[in-house]
Chains A and B, each alone.
Chain A
Amino acid sequence: MLKIDNLHVKLEDEDKQILKGLSLEVPAGQVHAIMGPNGSGKSTLSYVLSGRDGYEVTDGGASLNGDDLLEMEPEERAAAGLFLAFQYPVEIPGVGNMTFLRTAVNAQRKARGEEELSSGEFLKKVRAKAAELKIDADMLKRPVNVGFSGGEKKRNEILQMAMLEPRMCIMDETDSGLDVDAMRLVSDGVNALRSPDRSFLVITHYQRLLNHIQPDVVHIMSNGRIVKTGGPELALQVEEEGYGDLLTGAQ
């Protein structure tokens, strides 16, 4: 599904290398978690994969189902099935959440040559998904993320994910800011989406999320690279011992 090979990324306007030879492969149907200290480059990786400006790939590459991701515009990557749940979802005043969602869903369908959803179909679907995530009608009407609490923003990200039905979901610290119940709701939402042809890359600092969303593989990232890869037990080890030994052990 997602294949990242020896990816080197620096900031465009600064002489600062952030990703330094990162390799990673997420096969279809699997959930991979990435953990790693602050500043190790996790968000940068998610931005580079989804096509944000400001970075320069100096070496290596990334592909989604064999297609070169880095050649595509952000909207093309989305239409190809990539989705990023942002660590910091963006507020867009004046654009209604519903209009935004519907435009996104139909733009992707159109780009894939599928028929657009009618307003009726869309409404039915969005109401059902919103109800599952306990997102009320008022939040759907309000401008995108404006005045949403931290947890509401995160739930809104998962609502978008549920509506867009991407094949490759990257979740950047979706658990931070969620209360215990919301964490369960979000995890249920994610688990409901799990399927043999959909993969997840879950970036998190806490093992707790991984109790709900059971990963197949856990990667430890440090200083722009994956330094260790293992099973779910790796997350437990991080939780108990911190990164200290893992990082020194890896070097």
Chain B
Amino acid sequence: MADTAVKNQDVTPQVTGEAKPANALDARLAALSLPEGGFTAAARADALARLRDMGLPAPRDEYWRYTDPKPFNAPEAAPLALGDDLGDSPLFGDLDRLKLVFVDGVFDAEASDDVALEGVEIDVLSVADRQAAHWAGDLYGALEASGQKPVKRPFAALNTVVARDGVLIRVTATPAKPVHVIHRRGSADADTYWHHVVRIEEGAELTLLETGMSGARSNGALEVDLQKGAKFNYITSKRAVHETVGLSHIFARVDAEAQLKSFTLSVNGRVMRHEGVIDIVGDDAFAHIAAAVLGDGDIGPFHHDDTVFITHAAERCESRQVFKKVLKNGAEGVFQGKILVKPGAQKTDGYQISQALLLDERSQFLAKPELEIYADDVKCSHGSTTGALDEEALFYLRSRGIPHERAIIFLVLSFLADALAEVEDDELRDQINDRLEAWLTDRAGK
């Protein structure tokens, strides 16, 4: 594999001072109906003020250089021309889990299970927000707000302002099964938003699955607060039809001895951007963020961006970022990942790897790995590689009688294995792997 390693240290993001055209934001907001909110009212007002202050992103913004914000800045979502049917059975379909279905970001009680799960309090935002007070009031928009520094995230603020629905999950004792949020598409031109809030109390554990796509354009946010010793496994799978554009955000606060594990599988989509903002605030905690991305530019343009910001503000914590993208037929991948180690965050162990497997010469990968370290006793490393298929391995497989296309699938799965390994549960990992294999088989030779 022809590897080129990118290594740069202490790259501080520059703040761009140019004013944003206010009318673009006004046009964007004018196209939306803004909910007043109940317990979220103050947070929404605050987010709106912040958003007005920030404006919408422009291509010259430090973290929007590689991804054109235009499709997200546009007041209306571009309607989908393609049919909705991806022909798959639902992922995790045969798993015992609590299903919560959202259609274009709106909770569908009929299609969902009863929201009763021992050890867990579940509310739906659209219902809970009729009340003036709720436990999620401390968190809604709060982690998003703190995640705005030092990098602005206007679409996350927009989400706090606009989202009417989502799940609010408070875990007091580890439930017997995972919670599964399923997104479905209702209409071909829907502009959809959802905002989840999760709080895991001391020592409890939750596995949250989130799959599917909604609308023509989506903007999702998850704020998760892990109390001491809490554990959160978050596994998402997003497979889009080609015209879909989507943004998603995860804002996490990780307290002492807590463990966050997030894995995202993304397939297709015209422009997809996932932002992760993880603040490790208590000692002896860890956060692992991984993603496997398959991009195929054959049917339409494909652009996929992962932008991750992990802050270590406590001692003896570990963070790990594993991002793998498989790109073909002119697909583009972007990775922007930062590890910030604050003063005093001694014995930090930070690791970041971003890799792309380019299946042809038209595809490209842009990576911006960053380390910013203000403590002296830390171990941090990052690396980024871009490579083609290993011809030697390909020949080895073929020499055993494995057909060319199938051999490529093997090598792609092999490339993604490190990211998949971040899914702790064997059954879930196997299901994801099988699904990946099926998708790859479907696209083989195209």
User: Which residues from chain A sit less than 8 Å from chain B, CB to CB?
Assistant: 50-53, 73-75, 77-79, 83-84, 86, 89-95, 100, 103-105, 107-108, 111, 143, 160, 164
B403-431 interface (Cβ within 8 A of A): 403-404, 406-407, 410-411, 413-418
Residues 73-96 of B contacting A (Cβ, < 8 Å): none
From B396, B406, B415, B418, A90 is in contact (CB under 8 Å) with B396
Q: Which residues of B contact A89 (CB under 8 A)?
A: 396
Take A73-B404, A75-B404, A90-B393 as given contacts and tell me if A95 and B410 are in contact as well, using a CB distance cutoff of 8 Å. yes
With a cutoff of 8 Å between Cβ atoms, the chain A residues found around residue B403 in the complex are: 75, 107, 111
With beta carbons under 8 angstroms apart, the residue of A53, A73, A100, A108 that contacts B397 is A100
Are A100 and B404 CB-contacts (below 8 A) given A74-B399, A94-B415?
Answer: no
Q: How far is the CA of A51 from the CA of B400 in the complex (A)?
A: 11
Is B413 touching A103 in the complex (CB atoms < 8 A)? no
Q: Which residues of B contact A160 (CB under 8 A)?
A: 400
Enumerate chain B interface residues (CB-CB to A < 8 A): 391-393, 395-404, 406-407, 410-411, 413-418
CB distance from B183 to the nearest CB of A (A): 29
A224 to chain B, nearest CB (A): 22
- Complex alpha-carbon distance, A53 and B414, angstroms: 22
Told that A52-B399, A74-B399, A94-B413 touch, could you supply 12 new A-B pairs with CB distance under 8 A? A51-B398, A73-B404, A75-B399, A75-B401, A75-B404, A86-B396, A91-B393, A94-B418, A103-B402, A103-B406, A107-B401, A160-B400
- Those 3 A-B pairs whose CB atoms lie nearest each other, nearest first: A94-B417, A94-B414, A78-B401
Q: Which of B398, B404, B417 has the most CB of A within 10 A?
A: B398
Are B413 and A75 in contact, CB atoms less than 8 angstroms apart? no
Q: Are B401 and A53 in contact (CB under 8 A)?
A: no
Q: Closest chain A residue to B414 by CB distance?
A: A94
A113 to B400, CA, bound (A): 17
Taking the nearest CB of chain A, how far is it from the CB of B131, in angstroms? 49
A-B contact pairs, 11 of them (CB 8 A): A52-B399, A75-B398, A78-B401, A83-B399, A86-B396, A90-B392, A92-B396, A95-B414, A100-B410, A104-B402, A108-B400
Residues of A contacting B406 in the complex (Cβ-Cβ under 8 angstroms):
103, 107
- Whether A93 and B396, one on each chain, are in contact in the complex, defined by CB atoms closer than 8 angstroms, is no
Nearest opposing residue in chain A for B415, CB measure: A94
Min distance, Cβ A46 to any Cβ of chain B, angstroms: 10
- Alpha-carbon distance A198/B314, docked complex (angstroms): 66
Residues of A within 8 A of B413 (CB): 94-95
CB nearest neighbor in A for B400: A104
Q: How far is the CA of A89 from the CA of B396 in the complex (A)?
A: 8
**Which residues from chain A contact B415 at a C-beta distance below 8 Å?**
94
Kindly state the separation between the CA atoms of A27 and B87 in the bound complex, as whole angstroms.
Answer: 52
Nearest residue, chain B, Cβ from A103: B402
| Residues of chain A lying within 8 A (CB to CB) of residue B416 | 94
Q: Which of A50, A91, A95, A143 has the most CB of B within 10 A?
A: A95
Alpha-carbon gap, A155 to B416, bound state (A)? 28
Pairwise interchain contact B401-A79, C-beta atoms closer than 8 A: yes
For A73, what are the chain B residues with a Cβ–Cβ distance below 8 Å? 398, 404
- CB contact under 8 A between A108 and B401, given known A53-B391, A103-B410: yes
Q: Nearest residue in B to A166 (C-beta to C-beta)?
A: B401
Which residues from B are CB-within-8-Å of A78?
Answer: 398-401
Minimum CB distance partner of A146 in chain B: B414
> Once bound together, how far apart are the Cα atoms of A94 and B404, in whole Å?
18
Is A52's CB under 8 angstroms from B410's CB? no
Report chain A residues within 8 Å CB of B401. 75, 78-79, 104-105, 107-108, 111, 164
A129–B397 CA distance with the chains assembled, in angstroms: 20
